[in-house]
Amino acid sequence: MRRISLVLLIPALAVVACTDLNDFSTGEGKLYRGSIIQGKFVRNGFDISTEIELTFRVDRVDQKPDSQGIGGPGILRTSDGQFKDAPLEPIAELPHDQLSKLDFPGGRLRSYLFFARTSGAGDEEALVVISLMEDSSVEVRILRGGEKPLFGVFKVDKKSVLSSND
């Protein structure tokens, strides 16, 4: 019985050991790009054709960007102009709270929480949840309450900046 358990456990450990979250970081010439999930039940305040682009650095998830938005975990932009090169802003207290271990089912390796500011006169903060998926894709959720609520779920894949056909 022990032998069978070990035989089943070793491949599972190998899969976990081979998953380096830094592989999700976008390096030079790369970004994540994708479209909003089409269902109205997971979309509010975004047009059905909204696309998103995201740069993301796992090694900087706790680093606050400077006043020009440089040096933080990443930059978010949407095709509808609601987010124009919006820096992802870490929540300073989060690493010391259980919420930092946010986990929910569906093939997620790790999820991170950030704030990002909308563009324009409103300049309001929205919560951004970035989930690193087992299939090497990324899910991005954008949420905001209030008078102009936002809710959008985007499935994005790593692409080359030089070509949209990668």
**CATH number of the domain within which 120 lies:** 2.40.160
Task: Count CB atoms within 10 A of the CB of residue 162.
Answer: 9
Quote the tokens at residue 128. 């951004």
List the one residue out of 45, 48, 78, 46 whose CA is nearest residue 148: 45
Q: What pLDDT score does 100 carry? A: 67
pLDDT confidence band for 68 (50 / 70 / 90): confident
Tell me whether residue 2 is in a domain: no
- The whole-number pLDDT of residue 123 equals 77
Which pTM was predicted? Answer: 0.81
Give the residue, 133 or 15, on which the prediction is more confident.
133
Q: Please give the average per-residue pLDDT across 8-37, as a whole number.
A: 72
**Structural domains of the chain, count:** 1
131 close to 58: Cβ distance less than 8 angstroms: no
CA distance 8 to 5: 5
Domain of 40, in residue numbers: 22-160
Q: Residue range 124-151: average pLDDT?
A: 93
